Amino acid sequence: MSDGLGWPVIAVLSVGIYAERAAGMFVLGPALRSERAMRVLAAVPVAVIAAVVALQTFTVGDRLAVDARVPGVVAAALAVWGRAPLAVAVVLAAVVTATVRALGWAA
Amino acid sequence: MTGHQHQYEQDGAEQREAPAGSDAHPAPAPTAPAERPLVARADVLTFAATYFVVGVTVALICTTAGMAPWLVAVAAVTMYSATSQLALVAVITSGGATLAGLASALLVSARFGVLAAAIAPRLRRGAVRRGVAAHMVVDPSVALALAQPDDDAAEWVFWRVGINLGVAWLIGVVVGVVVGPHIGDPHRYGLDAVFPASLVAILAASLRAGGRIMLAVALVAGAITLTLTPLVPAGIPVLAAVLASGLVLASPTPVGAGR
């Protein structure tokens, strides 16, 4: 087993990640109370989630990649756009991605 | 979820004037029965199922990379960040130094600090309560809570979604550690598309409530992320994408439900 994946690393990360969350909750959040700051903060989840979607759909490690996830996520987006239930969209994403892979159309 | 979102767009004014104190089931829309939840049970269950799947996948990847199974489960609780755990494993298995792995994981999780700051004003006071809330900060719990029209509703949705996802994620990780070796490659079942697909659904709800300016925020954030990903260490692209939320200042009127 690599040292990089041992318990000391996990311990440091656990403390570090909690510190990040607590800093937002107890320091950054209370400090940003102006009307403008509140408006920007309300948009932060949209920016963060869009960024994570982009990463999880179009990247592998540190490079861009278009693979079978793309048609799956696009199918889910279309389903959501058509006001399909969340469960339908998520299952559709997995089915489309798995199918495209099984057919060998994309990695 | 989307149905309720729609309702709030129409009934936002009445919602805000509704009596406070019904924090378990905040004031429903006039046409809805009193016990109607703010985020549909089916949606919460689907998000939970998604986090279960993510848990199984992360457990598989971590154990395959050589992390001790017990440690994978402990990390799931104490780190509570699938993306951060994956970032660590990605750096270490590609031969990176331990310090690089630490830095990468902490950069990836830094977005939770920004999300915690976003939800902080909507939560009740109390250091212990907020201390626990900080650990429950994940992308869906904050996004769905912030979309609620009043603070009581936001708080209730935050805890309900957060606890459900946390439990589902942990069960997923434990299942992944135990039965992982028998599942095979999770990619074969398209499971890597499940997480982004569920986030797209959250995004759609926010975009419907926020209009064009929120769509611009989302598109610019995605573009920043993809542009920077090949150029800078993991985690930084998402942090840079947070800057896109500043675009709302270009909009003349406040956007987003409840603000």
pLDDT of B178-214, one tens digit each? 987 777 777 888 888 988 998 898 888 788 878 889 9
If we measure between CA atoms, which residue out of B75, B22, B58, B50 comes closest to residue B144? Answer: B50
Is A89–B45 a contact, with Cβ atoms under 8 angstroms apart? no
Looking at per-residue pLDDT, the higher value among B254 and B209 belongs to: B209
The tokens of B98 are what? 């331990």
CB burial of residue B25 (10 Å; 0-12, 13-18, 19+): middle
| Mean pLDDT confidence for B149-160 | 92
Is A86–B47 a contact, with Cβ atoms under 8 angstroms apart? yes
| Mean pLDDT confidence for A68-95 | 92
How far is B65 from B47, CA to CA, in rounded Å?
Answer: 27
In tens, the pLDDT along B206-241 reads 888 788 899 999 999 999 999 999 998 888 888 899
B252 touches chain A (CB under 8 A): no
Instruction: Give the range with max mean pLDDT: B19-23, B95-99, B133-137.
Output: B133-137
If we measure between CA atoms, which residue out of B105, B173, B71 comes closest to residue A6? Answer: B71
B48 touches chain A (CB under 8 A): no
Q: Is the pLDDT of residue B22 over 90?
A: no
**Tell me, what's the pLDDT at B37?**
54
Average pLDDT of chain B is 81
Give me the residues paired with residue A59 across strands: A64
B132 touches chain A (CB under 8 A): no
Q: Is the pLDDT of residue B10 over 80?
A: no
Instruction: Give the range with max mean pLDDT: A67-71, B18-22, B176-180.
Output: A67-71
- The answer to whether B197 and A72 are in contact (CB under 8 A) is yes
| Mean pLDDT confidence for B56-64 | 87
Facing B259 at nearest CB: one of A6, A38, A101? A38
The tokens of A106 are what? 């994309």
The tokens of B87 are what? 């970032």
Q: Which of A50-54, A77-81, B21-25 has the lowest mean pLDDT?
A: B21-25
How far is B56 from B177, CA to CA, in rounded Å?
Answer: 7
| Mean pLDDT confidence for B56-62 | 87
In tens, the pLDDT along B110-120 reads 999 999 999 99
Count of CB atoms within 10 A of residue A64's CB? 12
**Tell me, what's the pLDDT at B96?**
77
Q: What is the DSSP letter of B79?
A: T
Q: Does an H or E element contain A6, and which?
A: none
In chain A, residues 3-62 whose CB comes closer than 8 Å to chain B: 3-7, 9-14, 16-18, 20-26, 28-30, 32-33, 35-36, 38-59, 61-62
How far is A47 from B179, CA to CA, in rounded Å?
Answer: 36
Phi and psi (nearest 5°) for A59?
Answer: -130, 150
What residues in A contact B141, CB-CB < 8 Å? none
Is A18–B204 a contact, with Cβ atoms under 8 angstroms apart? no
The tokens of B154 are what? 């936001």
ipTM attached to this prediction: 0.88
How far is B139 from A61, CA to CA, in rounded Å?
Answer: 20
How far is B120 from B134, CA to CA, in rounded Å?
Answer: 9
Q: Which of A37-41, A95-99, B131-135, B158-162 has the lowest mean pLDDT?
A: A37-41
